[in-house]
């Protein structure tokens, strides 16, 4: 069988607690909306919660982050020692997430071998980043992980399974599986149900993934002969997976490659989703600039690129205190509008200062973009069918190119896994 780099893992699940309060949205959401996190904190109160064992990124640049990380690590040990987390050995979990609009997104929880993952642009590994990884974003995340007893994943990997051979057979058999959890999620974010995949179904999963990774069939599928097999493309949690990789490399340097071969840090817990599932929708990730002279920024954008209000070219929209506008870039510097805009913004911010945030909802962009000293840019969407061929042929897309759905439909922290010996 072809190598896949994806396996059943040892999963920790809480027992006998309020699961709605336990499960909290991914840390990289609502990064400019402190009121969201304040509401979650009030809702959780003193109940066991993944809020206490993760660090929302809104706090990464604030004072006291060292103390927050220490509190996270202490809470992890407390949860382990208290016995609220039960370990289920060598398990796949089939998951169905009911989203806010009522649609259901199926997924499969397991672990990936970080030896098979390389986030660098141009890599030919089985598991690859879909977007550019900002290496400067790894160190603060590494400080959270390097002394952590547990990992709690929000990483979602995509497979290009048009024939629906991996997840869909599990959906057909789910009533035969034991239920792992079933509850309503906080903040009007839908519901989730998970099942333990039995041994027979797990073999079907392994065989189906191996078939997708078979080099001859893979090369014929994408009409390439000089590229390494891409089986998993990172859909969400790119920087979290990159941080897991760097943590593992540190462990390997410290204890040696032989000892690291069976170390739990070699693996990362992820959810696999089929890019062809109709529930999976790509959403553009917009930009909001803070503490800038919006008029000057638009002027410099016009000096950098040939702009028009209509016609052929890459289209973006903007919103600021004085209103809204549409722009067409006639001489783009990248294949996608997001890359062309990002090239300019990176240079502008480096020269003139200011801050950028990456926003998922148009309403949030319009609310933040119209405030004094801010400007928001609204970007067009990218088609799902473009993802795998583009990553295979061109490498990683510009960072923060797309999002898999709205913030409230993102993966929530729920399952955990030990990463220390």
| Tokens (6 digits) for 352 | 């003139």
No. of helices (H) and no. of strands (E), the chain: 13, 24
- pLDDT of 1 strictly over 80: no
Phi, psi of 220 (to 5 degrees): -65, -40
For 205-212, what is the mean pLDDT?
Answer: 98
pLDDT at residue 122, as a whole number? 86
In the chain, where the domains are located: 6-282+404-418, 286-378
Q: How does residue 386 score in pLDDT terms, banded at 50, 70 and 90?
A: confident
Predicted local distance difference test score (pLDDT) of residue 47:
98
Q: What is the mean pLDDT of residues 401-409?
A: 86
Q: Which residues, other chains included, contact 362 with Cβ-Cβ below 8 Å and sequence gap of 6+? A: 286, 378
pLDDT tens digits for range 215-250: 999 999 999 999 999 999 999 999 999 999 999 999
Give the pLDDT score at 393: 85
- 127-185: pLDDT as tens digits: 999 988 878 878 888 999 999 999 998 999 999 999 999 999 999 999 999 999 999 99
Q: Whose CA is closest to 141, among 59, 52, 49?
A: 59
Q: Pairing relation of β-strands 127-128 and 232-236?
A: parallel
Percent of the chain with pLDDT over 70: 100
- For every residue of 26-40, DSSP letters joined together read -TTSSTT-HHHHHHH
Burial class (CB in 10 A: 0-12, 13-18, 19+), 173: middle
pLDDT digits (tens, 9 = 90+) for 110-125: 999 999 999 988 899 9
Cα 145 to Cα 72: distance, rounded to the nearest angstrom: 10
CA distances from 174 to 21, 204, 265, 276, 321 (A): 26, 14, 30, 20, 52
For residue 36, pLDDT over 80 is answered with yes
| pLDDT, mean of residues 390-410 | 85
pLDDT at 371: 97
- Residue 363 banded pLDDT, cuts 50, 70, 90: very high
What's the CA dihedral at 410, 411, 413, 414 to 10 degrees?
130
What is the per-residue pLDDT across 39-96, written as a single tens digit (0 to 9) for each? 999 999 999 999 999 999 999 878 999 999 999 999 999 999 999 999 999 999 999 9
Q: Which two tokens stand for residue 300?
A: 């410099």
pTM equals 0.85
Q: Cβ-count burial of 90 within 10 angstroms (0-12 exposed, 13-18 middle, 19+ buried)? A: exposed
**Residue that is written with structure tokens 């941080």 in the block:** 243
Q: Mean pLDDT in the chain?
A: 95
């Amino acid at each position: 069988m072809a190598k896949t780099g994806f396996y059943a893992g040892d999963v920790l699940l809480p027992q006998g607690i309020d699961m709605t309060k336990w499960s909290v949205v991914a840390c990289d959401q609502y990064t400019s909306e402190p009121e969201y996190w304040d509401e979650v904190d009030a809702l959780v109160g003193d109940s066991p919660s993944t809020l206490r064992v993760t660090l929302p990124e809104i706090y990464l640049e604030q004072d006291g982050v060292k103390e927050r990380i220490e509190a996270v690590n202490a809470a992890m040990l407390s949860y382990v020692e208290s016995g609220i987390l039960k370990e289920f050995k060598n398990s796949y979990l089939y998951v169905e997430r009911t989203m806010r609009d009522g649609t259901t997104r199926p997924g499969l929880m397991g672990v990936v071998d970080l030896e098979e993952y390389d986030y660098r642009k141009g890599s030919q590994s089985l598991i690859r980043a879909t977007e550019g990884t900002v290496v400067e974003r790894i160190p603060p995340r590494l400080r959270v992980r390097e002394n952590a007893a547990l990992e709690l994943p929000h990483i979602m990997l995509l497979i290009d399974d048009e024939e629906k051979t991996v997840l869909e057979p599990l959906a057909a058999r789910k009533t035969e599986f034991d239920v792992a959890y079933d509850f309503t999620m906080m903040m009007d974010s839908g519901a989730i149900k998970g099942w333990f995949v039995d041994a027979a179904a797990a073999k079907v999963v392994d065989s189906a993934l191996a078939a997708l990774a078979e080099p001859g069939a893979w090369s014929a599928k994408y009409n390439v002969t000089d590229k390494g097999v891409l089986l998993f493309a990172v859909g969400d949690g790119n920087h979290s997976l990159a941080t897991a990789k760097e943590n593992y490399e540190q462990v390997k340097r410290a204890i040696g490659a032989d000892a690291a071969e069976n170390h739990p840090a070699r693996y990362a817990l992820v959810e696999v989703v089929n890019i062809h599932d109709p529930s999976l929708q790509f959403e553009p990730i917009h930009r909001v600039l803070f503490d800038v002279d919006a008029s000057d920024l638009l002027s410099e954008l016009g000096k950098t690129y040939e702009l028009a209000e209509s016609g052929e070219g890459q289209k973006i929209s903007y919103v600021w205190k004085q209103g809204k506008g549409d722009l067409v870039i006639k001489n783009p510097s990248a294949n996608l509008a997001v890359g062309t805009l990002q090239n300019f913004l990176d240079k502008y911010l480096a020269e003139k200062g200011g801050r950028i945030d990456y926003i998922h909802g148009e309403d949030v962009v319009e609310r933040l973009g119209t405030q004094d000293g801010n400007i928001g840019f609204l970007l067009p969407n990218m088609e799902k069918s473009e993802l795998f061929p583009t990553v295979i042929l061109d490498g990683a897309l510009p960072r923060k190119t797309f999002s898999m759905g709205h913030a409230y439909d993102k993966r929530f922290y729920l399952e955990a896994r030990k990463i220390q010996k």
